[in-house]
């Protein structure tokens, strides 16, 4: 049977996941065509992408940038800001929308894609962390697919294939442990952003790399997995796996554990999401299992106290996860700027959750409001020195 060409929309095309997605498309000529792209501030790279892939519509961060794109590419429809990203996400000709915008900024475009009936390849975990109730309700109503791009959630997705959800005992999310897995605890107060950005196994954006160092990223992945796979948080366990070979596991009620393993390469889950339910031939040497060490450790709550906050936010419910996510964005930004110490990230997040009065998540405005309140609370705590 002849393969059909999938039309792809990419949110965040100049970021790490966006660039890797375009690499996958380059490596598989005739399988995909890019129909819409959105980007942030990297206009130089974005123009090169537009010239190469010739999308029909694009979006950038500001009106001035959109005007510049229109001057350089007169035939293009160019939007900007949130509305522009929503336009790209919901573009009429797209078969699949890759949601790779970092942070809460990815929520509204992801929701727009789902509302437009698109299959979503999801790399933006914040969309489900903040607005999982809304997004998954719409996914179920429209009988859509959300195909996970995070390596851990792709592993779970693949490990669940062919099995009954009722037979699942628990999900085991793996985490590398980041750069400070074996750092003396007393030295964590003085770690610098430069050191925290040196992830041992993955090459990622700054925000997710810092979140990996605190394990807040894994906490958000717990929330995302709960929504994606309809599994309660208490049935999701995190284990440290420094080698980043086993990307996650599913344990079944009979004691069997099914896992997915491979190299630390985001192109693998990206390619699987783009080609699903098919698989694309690898463009590199096969992963060799001989000589590999597999080590699994329990999470030390003294070293990684942020993880428990994700479970607490889900227990509180409503807008609590949205507020936690927003506060974390503030904390990471402040840490990277040298305003906040590494160990103070947990203190601020803990205080934000303690102060937050959760509201229901029934509308987009509810999610946005939860985000606003979490952000303002974190800023207030930090600027007033209440940590």
* 241 falls within a domain: no
Q: What is the DSSP string of 44-67?
A: HHHHHHHHHH--SEEEESSHHHHH
Instruction: Collapse the DSSP code of 267 into the 3-class scheme (helix H, G, I; strand E, B; otherwise coil) and give the result.
Output: helix
* 248 falls within a domain: no
Q: State how far the alpha carbon of 216 is from the alpha carbons of 293, 350, 378, in Å.
A: 26, 12, 15
The per-residue pLDDT for 142 is 96
* 385 falls within a domain: yes
The per-residue pLDDT for 386 is 67
To which H or E segment does residue 375 belong?
helix 364-383
* 126 falls within a domain: yes
Please identify, among 97, 123, 144, the residue that sits at the C-terminal boundary of a domain. Answer: 144
* 120 falls within a domain: yes
Peptide bond into 277 cis (omega under 30): yes
**Residue 54 CB-half CA count within 13 A:** 3
CATH number at residue 139: 3.40.50.720
- Return phi, psi of residue 31, to 5°: -95, -30
Question: What is the number of domains present in the chain?
Answer: 2
Residue stretches of the chain with pLDDT short of 50: 1
Cβ–Cβ < 8 Å for 257, 169: no
Please identify, among 144, 171, 188, the residue that sits at the C-terminal boundary of a domain. Answer: 144
Closest among 87, 89, 88, 47 to 68, alpha carbons compared: 47
Residue span of the structural domain in which 65 resides: 6-144
* 60 falls within a domain: yes
The per-residue pLDDT for 312 is 98
The per-residue pLDDT for 1 is 38
Please identify, among 122, 144, 166, the residue that sits at the C-terminal boundary of a domain. Answer: 144
* Beta strands in 220-272, from DSSP E residues, in sequence order: 236-240, 246-252, 257-261
CATH number at residue 322: 1.10.1740.10
* 243 falls within a domain: no
The sheet that has 297-298: what strands, in order across it? 257-261, 246-252, 168-175, 236-240, 297-298
Instruction: Collapse the DSSP code of 318 into the 3-class scheme (helix H, G, I; strand E, B; otherwise coil) and give the result.
Output: coil
> Which pTM was predicted?
0.94
* 288 falls within a domain: no
């Amino acid at each position: 049977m002849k393969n059909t060409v999938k039309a792809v929309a990419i949110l965040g095309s100049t970021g790490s996941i966006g660039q890797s997605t375009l690499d996958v498309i380059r490596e598989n000529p005739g399988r995909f065509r890019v129909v819409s792209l959105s980007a942030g501030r990297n206009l130089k790279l974005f123009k090169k992408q537009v010239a190469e892939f010739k999308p029909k519509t694009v979006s950038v961060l500001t009106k001035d940038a959109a005007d510049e794109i229109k001057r350089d590419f007169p035939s293009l429809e160019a939007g900007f800001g949130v509305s522009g990203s929503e336009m790209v996400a919901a573009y009429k000709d797209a078969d699949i929308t890759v949601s790779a915008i970092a942070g809460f900024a990815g929520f509204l475009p992801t929701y727009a894609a789902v509302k437009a009936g698109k299959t979503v390849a999801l790399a933006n975990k914040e969309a489900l962390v903040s607005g999982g109730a809304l997004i998954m309700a719409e996914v179920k109503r429209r009988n859509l697919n959300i195909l996970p791009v995070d390596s851990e959630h792709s592993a779970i997705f693949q490990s669940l294939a062919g099995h009954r959800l009722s037979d699942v005992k628990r999900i085991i999310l793996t985490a590398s442990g980041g750069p400070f897995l074996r750092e003396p605890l007393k030295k964590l107060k003085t770690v610098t952003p430069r050191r925290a950005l040196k992830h041992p196994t993955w090459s990622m954006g700054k925000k997710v790399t810092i979140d990996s160092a605190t394990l807040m990223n894994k906490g958000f992945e717990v929330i995302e997995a709960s929504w994606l796979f309809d599994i309660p948080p208490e049935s999701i366990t995190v284990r440290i796996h420094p080698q980043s070979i086993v990307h996650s596991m599913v344990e079944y009620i009979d004691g069997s554990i099914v896992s997915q393993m491979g190299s630390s390469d985001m192109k693998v889950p990206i390619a699987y999401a783009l080609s699903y339910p098919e698989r694309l031939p690898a463009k590199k040497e096969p992963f060799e299992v001989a000589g590999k060490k597999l080590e699994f450790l329990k999470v030390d709550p003294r070293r990684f106290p942020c993880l428990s906050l994700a479970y607490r936010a889900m227990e509180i419910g409503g807008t609590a996860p949205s507020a936690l996510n927003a506060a974390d964005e503030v904390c990471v930004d402040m840490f990277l700027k040298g305003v906040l110490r590494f160990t103070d990230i947990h203190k601020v997040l803990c205080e934000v959750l303690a102060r937050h009065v959760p509201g229901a998540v029934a509308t987009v405005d509810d999610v946005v409001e939860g985000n606003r309140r979490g952000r303002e609370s974190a800023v207030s705590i930090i600027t007033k020195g209440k940590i």
